[in-house]
Structure 1
């Protein structure tokens, strides 16, 4: 009893809402990108994969500014006094982001120029700068400029009749300083040249015509710089500098004023390329006067200006991977396996009827998910298919199967989330394609993104209707399923099927919420359910019994769940968090989070599974979900969290979690200040993704 009293006193003394107990989510996201960039410096990885990691860190930073920084800037103008859980208001967040972002960008270009380019050159993969072109290379590039570039380039001289042009989001542009007069006697002094997006950013030199090596490349920006004077006949180009503007790309759809969600999203998409400016990247050699001119023109502060030593559109360097055929400089090919129950020529409905089947992508193939829907489309006993689609590929085999099902006269309903960020246009096109085939298309619920990953197949067997479901932690996207780790469950369980049907009814009708048998669902029961399970674990710990919680998610941000995990730690519950990206919880704080460990796994595959495990007094409960520990997932999205109940499948996931916690090669351990330290192997090296590849490999 004395021990319980002491714990109660600790709980009473410490305010778990204290801002010092939280790490800013934006700074945490920057920390994630630091870990990604570290992969580009890891000499144990294949060289071209290291270049890919650099490019991924660049595209991640683009999105960080397009969405996260843009939202903080908006908040600063709307409600400057509003604070986050960590106590920072919007301007304080921007002040904290700026130096870290500048330091990060400087490191990106250092890695490119000092590490990767020299090491690529040793492998005879070279980026040829202008001042090193041979006469043959220059002659070929001049012809290329005249034949491939000149016809589609449109420089705009700046004067009263030619105002500063609208600059597309993240496009490659040049500002050119000129002297002399044009054919009409004008002398503006400056011009803007926009590089069409259709142009490749890297040009491979043909060895037979230029005497170049097999993999000699030139940046598009270098070609334009070299021959830009030919666009200004009779004038002299003093200097030419590349620049790029990043804009607010988050769509704003007023939920209270929507009559037609499709039209609202389409209207916003038209403006995405011209949102408010949030970042300006310029060639580091640009003159101070030109930098000031551009910054003033875009309304950009000094903190938002980045002077870079290399191509401003660095993420496009990723094109190199597809141009260079050097398998030894890339990850070895991996062939995922397929469970024996779902092998070739197997009837999936018979297999699922016999037992629940768990898939772990990309170690196991995504093909069975496609085959499940394909067989449902062809099976004469299948009457209806209901499916959610958040993101999928442009030529998705799943969509093709759904179209065939509708053409075969089956009842097909698809819930498409039009507001899936950066996939809005593709989803609008997809919706039209499905509607043309008489598929019932629903756009979800206004104000709540439909993020759940569910498929329900209704089959008539004899005189009974049987439900077959697939529930997953990731999107129905065959391409990303090769690189994202996710779980998927096939089941014929009646209660699961009933739950999934009820959620589809919620999404397609205007009915009230009905009680579910097994699933936890946002925005109704998931948050409350997780809190209750954490409290149950606390109660077990207070009885002196072993108690443990493991979450494997992408982000941990939501305040109430963080506070519950703090209380669990204070009560002696062992808490292990495997968090790929953002984590606002601070581990290792005395009296608060000493029993919490946070680790991040960065490897060949992007960790995407969401798993919630509760020890439950020796009878573990394991849930997989489409939701992370974020407010948006808990309260502003439709999410599905499903139990893994079959002992064999539960054991598999528990073993997987143990393997992730064992990793000592690709794990990063979070410190109380929000920074991460990469784990160092003591003894045998254990890399979880490599181990799982070996375990599941079909080779």
Structure 2
């Protein structure tokens, strides 16, 4: 069957995120946050997704059919990007700035500032900005300076102020803006007229060029921002010292292959053409912005502004009612398995388990995988504490976690210095599974306690991402996890596991075999249902099996936050497939595979999405919910509300475009917040 285009599906997801910025019922600073998320996503889209396309075009033989095909594809994707950018600029200039103004929050350009504000900005420029700036004149002895990835720069055409009858030729200059300078500056109250007033660094510089360049007339000026290929690639033969190989690449990441050139809307054709030639980019790589070039930097407004009613009301995750705060985690997990639903329930029980493990003299060993720990990590602090106290601490770090490589390397080095054992997973594969195993001596025997999760061990994201965590002392589950750690230590494939299903060895085949059974039962006229909740669905084999199940008569419901390449609603092909996406306050991140075939019901939670990279090129885990009570809870709390959501849901059409769903049922996220807040009150 014909799959949807992946790049266009990613851009369609960002269109849904942008729609949040246009909602008048969302606090205005949160709307601004959604706007910046779109820009951050587009940056990564070009750094990672578009870079291979650009490289292929550069390598293609000029004038060949392949070159023509690639150019046409880039133009198609570029057209969708421009459509999204136009909508984004429109939301910012026509809606958000007015909405901010209604709340006495202003982002002022030069023409908007009164005399007192202009004077303050001028003094700020002279004192704080000018000492760090210099213009590089471009001539045969001074070539065009190296431009770092996503840095802000100005290009100018200048004419020296020299007296005489003979005209002086104009010259080019480039001003590189240091990253150390704040991109957003809040004006003091004395010149703000009772408002919260902000100015952008680019506006501060543009309005004070005469101070920076007193010897020149500015004939032409434009801001530009270059996006480069930022994906890291390490050969398999570098795995002997992966950390060193990555460290060497991190230093050069800022100067990868150029893939996108952004300029302000007023940039002249001459300067735009010059920049394209300088960076050897085709015309389709040029993007004009009728808004600040780097809208991501407006996140600083959120940090500098007084939140008040302009942000979401703080939501404090509660302690799960399945556990008692004052009782040891050992005794409680010995009695029952515990399911945690973040961010509605706190990540604190996982931290508490680690705290007890670090302090308990009976704990011998702690093993854990780390994909994204974060710069400030209580999880890593506790693992370091355990290592200092003599515990056997082994951590499998994924050093290739995109854009978190440097942070993970730093934590790995710190843990190693304290005596912990650091591993980097299997050659050529990312370790994406999230698992923790603690070994404790109890009554002259060893007992294991485990945590596995759909999300990262990053405490900050557990408050803004929806994820599912599972705490257990189930001997067979723990034995499976131990087998996974042994395989990672010894660089071997994990053996067949009792309950857990691992990738790349078994997860794909397990899911496909279940879907085959779903199709078989559907053809017999028995109950057949597939309900998946994922971040992305792009794997052709999995999609083919889902289409087969739908054609056999099974109802297939897909809750996919991001890119879904399966077009629903195609006559005689995917009529029984429904695809919806939830875009709300929290980022949907949990993965659930729920399949019904007659009397058989399978419900797996997993770290893996429906993507080839997850199923074939990563170390992943999926685990079944054996407890029928927990299985029903996931169905009732994590799946059903999202199928009924009438506020935050979008329905996908056969063409891959989404339409907002307006129904009678409330937002699933809001309903879950109320539900868990009510449960906490009852518990108190």
TM superposition score normalised by structure 2 = 0.95
What is the aligned partner in structure 2 of residue 204 from structure 1?
186
Q: In 1, Cα distance between the equivalents of 2:450 and 2:620?
A: 15
Q: 1:460 to 1:182 in 2, by over 3 A?
A: farther
Tell whether 2:448 aligns with 1:467: yes
User: Deviation digits for residues 390-415 of structure 1, max 9, x if unmatched?
Assistant: 00121211111111111111111000
Contact 1:588 1:597 in 2 (8 A): yes
Q: In 2, Cα distance between the equivalents of 1:27 and 1:227?
A: 41
The CA deviation at 1:619 is: 4.2
What is the aligned partner in structure 2 of residue 234 from structure 1?
215
Contact 2:238 2:245 in 1 (8 A): no
Tell whether 2:479 aligns with 1:498: yes
Tell whether 2:651 aligns with 1:632: no
The CA deviation at 1:344 is: 2.5
Q: In 1, Cα distance between the equivalents of 2:145 and 2:492?
A: 50
The CA deviation at 1:335 is: 1.2
What is the aligned partner in structure 2 of residue 13 from structure 1?
none
The CA deviation at 1:343 is: 3.5
What is the aligned partner in structure 1 of residue 65 from structure 2?
none
Residue of structure 1 aligned with 2:87, choices 103, 107, 117? 107
The CA deviation at 1:181 is: 5.8
User: Mean Cα displacement is larger for which, 466-475 or 252-261?
Assistant: 252-261
Q: In 2, Cα distance between the equivalents of 1:598 and 1:91?
A: 31
Q: 1:211 to 1:115 in 2, by over 3 A?
A: closer
Tell whether 2:344 aligns with 1:327: no
Q: How does 1:581-600 map to 2 (within 5 A)?
A: 581-600=562-581
Tell whether 2:453 aligns with 1:440: no
For residue 398 of structure 1, give the secondary structure of its aligned residue in structure 2.
helix
Q: In 2, Cα distance between the equivalents of 1:507 and 1:211?
A: 58
Q: How does 1:176-575 map to 2 (within 5 A)?
A: 176-180=156-160, 189-208=171-190, 210=191, 212-575=193-556
Size of the aligned set, in residue pairs, is 670
User: Deviation digits for residues 10-33 of structure 1, max 9, x if unmatched?
Assistant: xxxxxxxx4xx2001111000000
What is the aligned partner in structure 1 of residue 154 from structure 2?
174
- RMSD across aligned positions (CA): 1.8
Q: In 2, Cα distance between the equivalents of 1:90 and 1:98?
A: 12
Residue of structure 2 aligned with 1:123, choices 84, 103, 113? 103
User: Deviation digits for residues 262-290 of structure 1, max 9, x if unmatched?
Assistant: 11111111111001111111111111111
User: Mean Cα displacement is larger for which, 415-424 or 369-378?
Assistant: 369-378
Contact 1:341 1:351 in 2 (8 A): no
Contact 2:493 2:505 in 1 (8 A): no
Q: In 1, Cα distance between the equivalents of 2:631 and 2:72?
A: 45
User: Deviation digits for residues 16-69 of structure 1, max 9, x if unmatched?
Assistant: xx4xx2001111000000000011111121111111111101111111011001
For residue 208 of structure 2, give the secondary structure of its aligned residue in structure 1.
helix
The CA deviation at 1:534 is: 0.5
Tell whether 2:626 aligns with 1:645: yes
Residue of structure 1 aligned with 2:141, choices 147, 153, 161? 161
User: Deviation digits for residues 438-485 of structure 1, max 9, x if unmatched?
Assistant: 100001112000000000011111122111110000000000111100
Residue of structure 2 aligned with 1:97, choices 53, 60, 77? 77
For residue 85 of structure 2, give the secondary structure of its aligned residue in structure 1.
helix
The CA deviation at 1:647 is: 1.6
The CA deviation at 1:342 is: 3.0
Q: In 2, Cα distance between the equivalents of 1:388 and 1:80?
A: 45
Structure 2 gap ranges (5+): 63-67
The CA deviation at 1:511 is: 4.0
Residue of structure 2 aligned with 1:676, choices 658, 669, 673? 658
Contact 1:206 1:214 in 2 (8 A): no
Tell whether 2:37 aligns with 1:56: yes
TM superposition score normalised by structure 1 = 0.93
For residue 101 of structure 1, give the secondary structure of its aligned residue in structure 2.
helix
Contact 2:584 2:669 in 1 (8 A): yes
User: Deviation digits for residues 642-689 of structure 1, max 9, x if unmatched?
Assistant: 1111121111101021111111111111111111111122xx341100
Structure 1 gap ranges (5+): 1-17, 82-87
Contact 1:182 1:233 in 2 (8 A): no
